Amino acid sequence: MKNLLYLILTLLLLNSCVKPNEKGTFGYDLLFLNKNKKTIVLKNNNDKCQLVIIPDYQGRVMTSTSNGLNGKSYGWINYDLISSNKFEEHFNAFGGEDRFWLGPEGGQYSIFFKKESDFTMDNWYAPKPIDIEPFSLIENSETSAVFNKEMQLINYQGYEFDIKIRREISLLDEEKIKKSLNIEFDDKISYVGFQSENEMKNVGNSNWSKNNGLLSIWILGMFIPSENTTVIIPYKDSLELTIYFGKIDSDRLKITKKNILFKGDGKYECKIGVPPKNALPFFGSYDAKNNVLTIVEYSTSKETSYVNSLFKYQSNPYAGDVINSYNDGPLKNGKQLGSFYELESSSVAKELKQNEFIKHIHKTYHFEGEIEDLNVIAKKILNIDLNEIKF
């Protein structure tokens, strides 16, 4: 049955004038993913706006397009790892524009390190339920899909979390995009927008407390880099930027009075984080080579308790980041996960009683067109003139 479906899809793509070997198109990626995994495709706007989800990868949005099968594929995909049908020991970087994750990664309440282990990458392991285990599909329509998953996780203190996850992916139409961003655009710009609505419920027999450690929902998007990709993070107040993995030079990181500008070329490993006091509800990136503006919108909170994922014992484990951006690059041993950059947002960490839950919404929008048209959106949402970005 799987081979038959793949053959049918191949014929449909050929009839729509998509070249199966034309890497970089949504059609190419859809063929590849269907060959290797079971997929769910959401579509609207006469099939121009599409995205593909893999239930086996935690209901992950792998990639999307604003121009149908012939259009650009916006998500980064690890073709070699997926086609190998093998799992890595520490972490499986399959790719994807919206993947479900949980924090903290580091610190005394980490769920990535075993008790009493040193905080080094050799001891860091992604929990299997959010790395290689599938989420169950419970509802599906042309523009949405709902998944759930029950899991048990143990943190560095030995505390066991019993969790139920509900995750809904929705493809947004033009009206919802314009309303959500409070913008207008015409047919000179192609667009696609989608959201993940994520709930984490305490289904255990005890209440979660700060003394035992708390969890946060963490959504990460992995995107295709270019030499001319810049991550743009507007901020407020006096900035206290978190820097991971050592110093970042000025040719990769610039701070203006309004924005953090961070190079997303996939050639140098570095990461930044923005705390709640500085975070605004929008951030994004601009690929000047391919004329693609990406906007991320996420649900915010007046609470300020966010998990800290630094790889060390922490004096304040709930003074973490709301926004993160990671640029991939070679490790000291020369190996590299891939070539991508990430746009990430996190929920608050709350003390949950039995059957209480927290929710986090993460929205991703792509706009493709001429710079003068994209600039109207960038100025309003990201508070920046795209012509002024220079590294």
pLDDT at 338: 85
Q: Which pairing describes strands 341-346 and 323-327: parallel, antiparallel, or unpaired? A: antiparallel
φ/ψ of 282, rounded to 5, equals -130, 145
User: Are the C-beta atoms of 203 and 166 separated by less than 8 Å?
Assistant: no
State the sign of the Cα–Cα–Cα–Cα dihedral 286, 288, 292, 293: positive
- Would you say residue 292 has pLDDT above 70? yes
**Cα(317)–Cα(296) distance, integer angstroms:** 26
pLDDT at 246: 86
Q: What is the pTM of this model?
A: 0.94
Q: Say if residue 234 is preceded by a cis peptide, omega within 30 of 0.
A: no
Please, which pLDDT band fits residue 7 given cuts at 50, 70 and 90? low
DSSP letters of 247-290? ---TTTEEE-SSEEEEE--SSS-EEEEE-TTTB-SEEEEEETTT
pLDDT tens, residue by residue, 200-246: 999 999 999 999 999 999 999 999 999 999 999 999 999 999 999 88
- Would you say residue 4 has pLDDT above 90? no
Of 91, 82, 88, 90, nearest in space to 56 by CA: 82
Using DSSP's 3-state secondary structure scheme, residue 379 falls into helix
Residue 178: exposure state from Cβ atoms within 10 A (0-12, 13-18, ≥19): middle
Helix (H), strand (E) at residue 36: helix 26-36
**Cα(187)–Cα(107) distance, integer angstroms:** 48
pLDDT at 18: 47
pLDDT tens, residue by residue, 306-353: 999 999 999 999 999 999 999 999 987 878 888 999 999 999 999 999
pLDDT at 328: 95
pLDDT at 278: 97
pLDDT tens, residue by residue, 77-130: 999 999 999 999 999 999 999 999 999 999 999 999 999 999 999 999 999 999
- For the domain made up of 99-388, the CATH class stated in words is mainly beta
pLDDT tens, residue by residue, 147-198: 999 999 999 999 999 999 999 999 999 999 999 999 999 999 999 999 999 9
Of 344, 349, 332, 309, nearest in space to 216 by CA: 349
- Would you say residue 15 has pLDDT above 90? no
Of 358, 361, 362, nearest in space to 200 by CA: 358
**Cα(333)–Cα(121) distance, integer angstroms:** 13
> Burial code of 114-147, b = ≥16 C-beta within 10 A, e = fewer?
eeeeebeeeebebbebbbbebbeeeeeeebbbbb
